[in-house]
Structure formats: structure tokens, C-alpha cells
Chains A and B, each alone.
Chain A
Amino acid sequence: MKPLNSVIAACPPSGIRRFFDIAAEMDDVISLGVGEPDFVTPWRIREAGIYALEHGYTTYTSNAGLPRLRELICDDLATRYGASYDPRDECLITTGVSEGLDLVLRVLLNPGDEVIVPEPCYVAYEPCVGFAGGTPVRVPTRAEDDFAIDADVVAAAITPRTKAILIGSPANPTGAVQPRAALEALVRLAEEHDLYLISDEIYDRLTYDGTHTCLGALPGARERTVLLGGFSKAHAMTGWRVGWICAPQAVAELCVRVHQYTMLCAPHVSQLAAVEALTGPDDDVDAMVADYDRRRRVFVKGLREIGLDCPEPGGAFYAFPSIRSSGLDSETFAERLLHAESVAVVPGNVFGPSGEGHIRCSYATALPQLEEALVRIDRFLHSL
């Protein structure tokens, strides 16, 4: 047989996948390995989806997505952050942020273009750059700096081939929220070197100690920034697969072009549910965020009390404690913890070299489970 696509064939399977396979065969696992809310989609949103099905909204929508939904997204960005996008030709509804990321990278990159990716970062960033023909260029961030991106380190990684900088804030896996100053420094760099900025802001509503800075709303950023967002995290709608891209018209137009030939449109029922998510009251989001915040405080304090240093996660629902004191590498730690105490965490190295020495723990899990997990991790540490 002739060889398959060499880029895809060379891409290793996600390290998360391996842990899923092990954990899936075990009983009584307390999973801190889940990257999605433990809340079910709020009832009023589910009801909107049911209504949509009952009334036969089972057709395609326009390629870019329901105009009403695009208007609501752009209004929301304008109200919340002062970011200005035209819903007619600068906004596209995607099948989750995952598709949005893929589209944007395919639209921005030519073969050999480099994309700077501060890490540790979401597992899809680097492979998606590769799939789009680009080359990911890793830039480390450090726990000692709360994983803030250092513009000087980014600047040192810029070459004539650099096309874009791809960041996620608040971040998976670290929970880090990039300070406004760090983002402003990136915008200045992007202006200086004529780079695009791709900003994954799927966790924007889940911040705890301050307000979220929207990259697209910073001075000088708008014409070179692609914003990615969606409904999965704040509205607990992971399985509905609804995300969006807001970008300058030239970029958005090409994104729609790829989208119309590949995905065609995001699911109609899901888009109508998303309309309800944005038109209804914010009570559900506020209650979920308050609950995550309480668990975060208890869990992070608990990790520190059992001897694991943990940077303060300002957003998302992940803690990223250091496990260096155990003397184990992150993969060995996670695997032995899973077998010895049936607690599933994700080794930090799957998110990039800077994640080595850490584990990702999701606190999107009920408080009693988190407390039991702390007991088990403590017991595991003492057994070493």
C-alpha cells in the first residue's frame, strides 16, 4: 500500500488517550482527568434543544451559522469586553472550538510557516498546526511565574517564518490567566513583526480572582487577532459542539469557505440551544462559577497541605501541582497513582515539556470526591 499522510502518521496519539484506556478498565476510579464540567447543561438550554427537535429544526443552517446566534455572540463580546465584530461577515459558528482552531490554522498558514505556541498548552494546539502544514515552535512558561507568557522569550523565538502566536487564556492545563500586561506585550510584538494572534478563550467566563482580558479588545489587536470561543465550558455544553470564530473579515471569509466544504454548518439544534444560553439569565453560569471557585479553594489548599506545590490557578477548572518532590516523572507518577489508589490524573508532560514535573487535576468533580482524592494522593505520596 502507498504510504498514508506523513504529517498525520508522524503525529503521536494524545497522551491523554493512553490514560483513558487504562482508567476505562478500572472500577472505583476517582477521576480528576476530566476536561469538562460535571454539571449537566442547564435545563432551560436543554429544553430549548428539545423544543427545536419537536418543531423540526433538523435542517442545515447557513454555512456561517444562524444570524441570530452570531448577533448574540458579537453583542456579548461588545458588552462584556468592548470587542467589536460584525456578525454579518466577521463571525462564524463552528462545531466546537476544536473545529475553529483547525479552520483558522488552515486559513492562516502556508507550508513551513511557524506558529509560536507557549506551553504547557492544550494538547491539540501543536498537532493542529502540523496538520495545517505549519511548524509549531514551543515557548516555555514557568510555574514560578504562574505560567505567564514572557514576551522576551517569545520575541527570541520569532523568525522570518513566524506567522502567528497561539495562546489559550484561561489555560488548559494550568488554569493560568494571562495578565493584561503580558497580553499587551504580545500585541506589541505582533504589530512589530506583523504576526497574527490566535486567542483561545473558551474558558473566558471561568475566572476567579480577577476579570478576563479579551485579546481582541486590546488596542492594536483587532485587525490581527482571531478569537476562538464556545459554549462548552461556561454553559456545560461540551456534547452539543458549538463554538465560534470572530476574526477580521478577510480571515473569517476564508474560514467560512473551508467550513462550507468540510463541516457545512454546526448542528442546527445545538445552535438554537446556544441562542437560549445567551438570551437567558446568567444565574446558571454564575452558580457554576461560584461552585468551581469554592472547590478550587478547597482542592488547592488540600494539595498544598499534602506537600504538593501548586501555582494559584486563576481560571478554568484545573490545578497543575508540581510532583517533583515525589522524585517521579509525571507519567510514572500518574500511572502508579492510578494503579495504587485509583485516582486518574493527567501527566503534565502531555501538554509540553514545561509540563513535566506536574500533573493536571480537574476540580470539576463533587467536593466529597475531591476530598477523597486528596486522601488517596496523600497516602500514595507516603507509600513512595
Chain B
Amino acid sequence: MRQILELLERDAQLSHDTLATMTGIPVADVSAAVTAWEASGAIRRYKAVVDWDAVDGDSTAETVTAFIDVSLAPARGVGFDDVAERIARFPEVRSVYLVSGSQDLRCTVEGRTIRAVSDFVSQKLSTIDRVRATATHFVLKTYKRDGDSFATPDADHRLPVTP
């Protein structure tokens, strides 16, 4: 059953019929499993991986992304959890991880402009109680995201017919 999830993670558009054929699992079982995963939240949702730089003529589609390392003061009983969850609620924040190293949280933040991201950091993030310091790294170019390469795919160099 795990292979159904792996296949859907790579291509959420695969139909239950195709998944059943690919895995040899009866289609009714595939459908039941997917429905159950959707209900339980194991499958959070389905989304497209968009390379916005490749969307021609739509300047509004472009966004600015920044990685923001956050240093926190932990609190008795909750550690970093309460602040991390509070940060995660902001719609600008795409991801939040508790990490090892000199900083405590690593967040991904998206905004329309550099100014928008900067304002978010200075006015919303830095002003949260127990946030000691932030370090902002703007993304200049995306080569790979969540396992998907954004490089131009290699051309198929094979001849059309070979032995």
C-alpha cells in the first residue's frame, strides 16, 4: 500500500485505475485506501509544483522567497512549540522547522516583494515575545524544490529507433 502513496507523491493525477494497474492492487482496494488516507489526514492535500519563473507574461505570479533563521528563548513546559506554532499560523510562512545548530527555527517565508518580506520579518516575526534574533536569506534562484529539479530537463538524446 505504501507504494500507492509514493506514486501519488510523485504524480497526484494518477487515476485509481492506473494506480491499480501499476501496483497490481485491486482498484476497489486502491480507492478505499486513498479515501481513508484523505480522511485521516495522511494525505494532507493535492497540489501542483509550479515553476513561477516559467509562467510567461505574468509578473504578478512572481514571489520573493526567504529562509529565515530564528533564535528563540525557550519556555518552561512548552520549549519552542508555542512560538513555533504561532509563527506557522502566518499565511506568509510556508514552512517552519525546529533545527539543530546555532539557530532554533528555520522558516520559509514568501511575499510579493522584498519589501513585503522585510516588513513581515521586522514588524511581525521579530516582535514576537521570546524571539531573540532573526537572520534572513533571500532566495536568488531555485534549482530544486521538494525533490523537483527546476533545471532544464536533459534532452532525450536517443535515436528514434534503435536495436
Contact = CB atoms under 8 A, between A and B. Distances in A.
Interface of A: 14, 16, 19-20, 23-24, 29, 31, 33-36, 38, 40, 122-124, 172, 294, 297-298, 301, 344, 346
B154 interface: yes
A298 B163 contact: no
B162 interface: yes
A112 B12 CA distance: 60
Interface of B: 7, 18, 21-24, 154, 156, 158-163
B161 A34 contact: yes
Contact of B158 (A16, A36, A122): A36
A34 B160 contact: yes
Counting chain B CB atoms within 10 Å of each CB, the highest count among A14, A20, A344 belongs to A20
Contacts of B21: 297-298, 301
**Chain B facing A: main interface SS:** loop
Contacts of B22: 294, 297-298
A344 B162 CA distance: 11
Contact of B159 (A24, A38, A298, A346): A24
B2 to A, nearest CB: 12
A35 B23 contact: no
A34 B23 contact: no
15 contacts: A23-B161, A29-B160, A33-B161, A34-B158, A34-B160, A34-B161, A34-B162, A35-B162, A35-B163, A36-B158, A297-B21, A297-B22, A298-B21, A301-B21, A344-B161
Given A294-B23, A297-B24, A301-B21, A123 B161 contact: no
B156 A38 contact: yes
B160 A33 contact: yes
A122 to B, nearest CB: 7
Given A294-B22, A294-B23, A31 B154 contact: no
A96 to B, nearest CB: 11
Contact of A20 (B7, B24, B154, B159): B159
A122 B161 contact: no
B161 to A, nearest CB: 4
